[in-house]
Amino acid sequence: MSRTSRTSRAGRTSRTGRAGHKRRLRPSYKALALAVALALGGGAVVVAAQGASAGQDSARSAPVTATIDCPDVGEQLREVPEGARPEVDQELAGLDTQIADAYQRLATGKARGDALLGELKDQRGETIGRMSDAIGKSAARPDGLDELSACAMREAPVAEDAEGPTAARAKGGPARGDFVAIGSVKPNIRAPKPKAGASKGSFSVQCGRNENRHLNPDNVIVAPGVSNGAHHMHDYVGNKTADAFSTNNSLAASGTTCTNGDLSTYYWPVLRLRDGKAERDAGAPGGGQDANVGTILRPKQVTIQFKGSAVSRVTAMPRFLRIITGDAKAFTNGPANANASWSCTGFENRQLKDKYPICPKGSDVVRTFSFQSCWDGRNTDSANHRTHVAFAAGDGSCGSGFKALPQLVQRIVYAVPPGARIAVDSFPEQLHKPATDHGDFINVMPDALMAEAVRCINGGRTCG
């Protein structure tokens, strides 16, 4: 399918972005009840000062952010015929765009929440219907998807940060409660003890720190062929040309920033300082148009390492295997698939899943992604991009029917100024919650390089 045909449907994004998206305006502050009534819209952020009348307890006047909790349709898919996948991927991306567009309309006062919620349900119903029809052309029409069109409102506290209450509220999070001093966290890391037959080696890949500033708001795994399919900016290392329109062939023909010829693409949401400064994407899709604002932090260090299994030898990853770890919608979906870890240098035996760390002076912020390391032995991807791979059990073993793969572990370090607030880029309705952090990987290692990695890991050596 051509690029033109894959992006031609109404309501979809294109390489030039959505002309209708504009920077959010500051919402008016009403009593909480009114904010709740008006906040029924696609991912929109509405803030109210509770108890605004004089003399009320300050503890009751904490501002509240209202957002929308929409069922994750993609997460419910288990089987999609190969021929239907392009259309299904486009429709899933359309659902995300509908939420983002509704967010803009609500935040700019162009629609009331109650009407907007109804419109959003109708839009989602039509999109889900087309998706079901596409699947039904060559397989059984999926049951239950039609019930996922309605969204509900969700509340979350938002903090007043160093930039003042107006700036904090207008940006929609993160909240003060999303941060914790790393020194107050108890050590919580326990690795399984290697058993006889374990593969104890490791294979490292040096791909730089994205010095060439390869950034885009695409996600070729989840939303192939859709510009701004992620609605947040990604940092990339490895493959030099990865974007929404990449194919297996184009990735294999690309250059790479990796010193050993690894053509794989490794990407993750950028981390920003909430400093009120205009980044170069301040008016662009994935940036300011999708409520991702502030200075993009450049990684101080990026470590990419493949590790072994605690109970067995590992087998080679198939080329073009796709793995997503973490959940970009963990705030509304819940923590089941959240997996990114936050910590500080010198304190990495203390890992946080749902909090940003406040690091002491001289210590840097660390993000760690430990990817799924069990593979079903057949598929390089799955309908929901999860079920073809799995995490090892607590003892390091893979479940029935799954094989142990080299485990990708990414460690990204940032120098964050003392006292500065940070936020990971996210879908607008996810409010920049730390639990929404995630990493994406497509294996494009030449077969000979993957074989070398497997030999090294199974041989108990440290390579790379």
- Residue 191's pLDDT is what? 87
Flag whether pLDDT at 283 surpasses 80.
yes
Flag whether pLDDT at 296 surpasses 80.
yes
Mean pLDDT across 94-114: 80
Mean pLDDT across 361-372: 98
Flag whether pLDDT at 25 surpasses 70.
no
232 — pLDDT class (breaks 50, 70, 90): very high
Nearest to 82 by CA among 142, 9, 138, 7: 138
- Residue 321's pLDDT is what? 98
Per the model's pLDDT, the better-predicted residue between 127 and 40 turns out to be: 127
Quick: pLDDT tens for 129-153.
999 999 999 999 999 999 999 988 7
Q: Are residues 187 and 153 both part of a single domain?
A: no
DSSP notation for 316-371: PPPTT-EEEEE-TTHHHH-GGG---EEEETT-TTS-BSSSEEEPPTT--EEEEEE-
Report yes or no on 162 lying in a domain. Answer: no
Report yes or no on 166 lying in a domain. Answer: no
Nearest to 323 by CA among 265, 271, 367: 265
Mean pLDDT across 246-271: 98
In this structure, what are the phi and psi dihedrals at residue 120, rounded to the nearest 5 degrees? -65, -40
Report yes or no on 168 lying in a domain. Answer: no
List strands edge to edge, sheet with 295-296: 295-296, 271-273, 422-424
107 — pLDDT class (breaks 50, 70, 90): low
Report yes or no on 312 lying in a domain. Answer: yes
Mean pLDDT across 41-49: 36
Q: Are residues 66 and 194 both part of a single domain?
A: no
Among residues 91, 123, 157, the one where a domain terminates is 157
**How many domains, in total, are found in the chain?**
2
State the chain's mean pLDDT as an integer.
85
In this structure, what are the phi and psi dihedrals at residue 77, rounded to the nearest 5 degrees? -75, 135
Report yes or no on 8 lying in a domain. Answer: yes
Instruction: Give the type of residue at 22.
Output: K
Q: Are residues 196 and 282 both part of a single domain?
A: yes
Q: Are residues 329 and 441 both part of a single domain?
A: yes
Q: Are residues 128 and 215 both part of a single domain?
A: no
Nearest to 428 by CA among 291, 287, 279, 334: 291
Tokens of 430: 């996810």
Per the model's pLDDT, the better-predicted residue between 120 and 2 turns out to be: 120
Share of the chain above pLDDT 70, in %: 81
Q: Are residues 68 and 184 both part of a single domain?
A: no
CB atoms within 10 A of CB 195: 13
Q: Are residues 207 and 324 both part of a single domain?
A: yes
* Strands 462-463 and 202-205, bridge-based pairing: parallel
- Residue 111's pLDDT is what? 67
Domain that holds residue 112: 3-157
Report yes or no on 165 lying in a domain. Answer: no
Flag whether pLDDT at 315 surpasses 60.
yes
Q: Are residues 290 and 322 both part of a single domain?
A: yes
Q: Are residues 289 and 425 both part of a single domain?
A: yes
Among residues 102, 126, 157, the one where a domain terminates is 157
Please tell me the pTM assigned to this model. 0.85
- Spatial neighbors of 120 by CB under 8 A, at least 6 apart, are 41, 42, 68, 70, 98, 99, 102, 151
* Strands 422-424 and 271-273, bridge-based pairing: antiparallel
Among residues 113, 130, 157, the one where a domain terminates is 157
Quick: pLDDT tens for 351-363.
999 999 999 999 9
Flag whether pLDDT at 301 surpasses 70.
yes
User: What DSSP state is assigned to residue 185?
Assistant: S
Mean pLDDT across 380-400: 97
- Spatial neighbors of 341 by CB under 8 A, at least 6 apart, are 351, 352, 353, 367, 368, 369, 370
Report yes or no on 49 lying in a domain. Answer: yes
- Residue 65's pLDDT is what? 61
Q: Are residues 189 and 326 both part of a single domain?
A: yes
Instruction: Give the type of residue at 27.
Output: P
Q: Are residues 282 and 391 both part of a single domain?
A: yes
Q: Are residues 146 and 190 both part of a single domain?
A: no
Quick: pLDDT tens for 48-95.
333 332 333 333 334 456 678 899 999 999 999 999 999 999 999 999
User: What DSSP state is assigned to residue 426?
Assistant: -
Quick: pLDDT tens for 149-203.
998 878 776 644 444 433 433 346 798 899 999 999 999 998 899 999 999 999 9
Report yes or no on 383 lying in a domain. Answer: yes
- Spatial neighbors of 27 by CB under 8 A, at least 6 apart, are 45, 46, 47, 107, 109, 169, 170
